[in-house]
Amino acid sequence: MQDIQALVNELVYKLRKRKMEGSDTSAQLTVELLRSVISQQKMSENQAASLIEAVREIGVKLIAANPVELAVGNIVRRVLHIIREEELSLMAKAVQGMGVDDEHNNGVKDNDHVAKILTRSPSLHSLLDSAKTSSNSKGKADKIANLKLKNNVLEAVNYLIEDIKICHEQIAEQALELIHQNEVVLTFGRSRTVKNFLLAATKKNRSFQVFVAEGAPKYQGHVLAKELAAKEIQTTLIADSAVFAMISRVNMVIVGVHAVMANGGVIGPVGLNMVALAAKRHAVPFVVVAGSHKLCPLYPNNPEVLLNEMRSPSELLDFGEFSDCMDHGIGNGAPLLHVANPAFDYVPPELVSLFITDMGGHNPSFIHQLISEHYSADDFNLQQHTAS
């Protein structure tokens, strides 16, 4: 357990010091850490409860280290959901006398199949026979479930790790359905998912033009424009202030985001809401590409959700320029200029036209259905469970 604690402390340090940023990296490292935690968890009488408690305890620490990195909390809740689903699946098979053959324990269980088992009306014979064998079968079922649960959870977590790694490729496979010949696409800043999405269209000989808004103050759009131009895509870099002037010539806006909230709203780089408003004004489709690990089960008005953070003013002004903004006449050194440098923008769901995920394309109104398939309602508020 000393090794696990050291890994937890290392990841907490990276999150707190902002040495690790980005949803993809945060999700990958979080799920790998939780896999190690589960693999070293000792067997107990109630294996599911012990696994849930261990994952939840570490998850609270990781979330507190950087509340803005919502992907960390998403992965913690996904793993908790996996544990609950595996426990439910094994219990259903044991109770119904189906056994736990190895061929039925490869990967994540079919939720529809489990639901049918639990809701199936018992026969008269099974009702009479269950009274005689309930005590013996319960103890045997619990023992088998504890033996199988840990291995099944680890296998499902491995599938989750693989899904995070290949989500960009799965999203890019849908590019041909969205980007057509001679279209004009606008994007904002730099996103790895958007880059792969656009490159996938060019591999099928689709010819189109891309406008890239530079995304001040980080100016990551410059990097994306160079990468697209290197792949012989007709690319034009524009200033953020020129988005509204150019939006009428655009067929579609395709952007990457930081997180997708439960109501269908998105959190993206600062300035993204301005692009969404311009697209809405000119009736241009606003398409969001995001992996399933960015789906957050919380609403933007939840008190435990921190939507934004103020970054250092040094990203906007050089250190020497601050001296000109100080009030030296009064003598108290009070600044005459307050620099607000938010990291993110919130885009409401009514401004989003379509979500492209590794599970297909969805309307903003369908996000809540995806949330219910990937998360358990009991895990939405991790701090509350820990306090109780």
Q: Can you give the residue ranges of every domain in the chain?
A: 2-166, 173-308+343-374
Per-residue DSSP letter, 289: E
For 288, the enclosing helix (H) or strand (E) is strand 286-289
Q: Which two three-digit tokens encode residue 336?
A: 């005459």
Determine contact, residues 257/266, Cβ cutoff 8 Å. yes
- Residues 70-93 have a mean pLDDT of 91
- Residues 134-147 have a mean pLDDT of 57
For 177, the enclosing helix (H) or strand (E) is helix 175-178
**What b-and-e string marks burial along 104-134, b requiring 16 or more CB atoms within 10 Å of the CB?**
bbeebbeeeebeebeeeeeeeeeeeeeeeee
**What b-and-e string marks burial along 302-312, b requiring 16 or more CB atoms within 10 Å of the CB?**
eeebebeeebe
> pTM (2 decimals)?
0.82
Among 105-119, 192-206, 314-328, the range of highest mean pLDDT: 192-206
Q: How far apart are CA 171 and CA 22, in angstroms?
A: 18
Q: Which two three-digit tokens encode residue 28?
A: 């990958």
Does 113 have pLDDT greater than 60? no
Name which of 259, 257, 283, 285 is nearest 269 in CA terms. 257
The predicted structure's pLDDT at residue 107: 44
Determine contact, residues 381/304, Cβ cutoff 8 Å. yes
Average pLDDT of the chain, as a whole number:
84
Does 1 have pLDDT greater than 90? no
Does 109 have pLDDT greater than 50? no
Q: 309 pLDDT band (50/70/90 cuts)?
A: confident
φ, ψ for residue 342 (rounded to 5)? -70, 150
Of 97-106, 206-215, 267-276, which gets the smallest average pLDDT? 97-106
Does 127 have pLDDT greater than 50? no
The predicted structure's pLDDT at residue 103: 46
Q: What's domain 173-308+343-374's architecture?
A: 3-Layer(aba) Sandwich (3.40)
The predicted structure's pLDDT at residue 99: 44
Does 325 have pLDDT greater than 70? no
Of 71-80, 130-139, 276-285, 343-352, which gets the smallest average pLDDT? 130-139
Q: 324 pLDDT band (50/70/90 cuts)?
A: low
Of 174-188, 282-296, 337-351, which gets the smallest average pLDDT? 337-351
Q: How far apart are CA 348 and CA 339, in angstroms?
A: 25
Q: For residue 333, is it left (φ>0), alpha (ψ between -120 and 50) or beta? A: left
Q: How far apart are CA 309 and CA 281, in angstroms?
A: 28
**What b-and-e string marks burial along 178-216, b requiring 16 or more CB atoms within 10 Å of the CB?**
bbeeebbbbbbbbbebbbbbbebbbeeebebbbbbbbbb
Amino acid identity of residue 52, one-letter, is: I
Does 358 have pLDDT greater than 90? yes
Name which of 161, 134, 142, 139 is nearest 43 in CA terms. 142
Determine contact, residues 227/262, Cβ cutoff 8 Å. no
For 129, the enclosing helix (H) or strand (E) is helix 124-172
The predicted structure's pLDDT at residue 93: 76
Determine contact, residues 91/49, Cβ cutoff 8 Å. no
Greater pLDDT, 287 or 86? 287
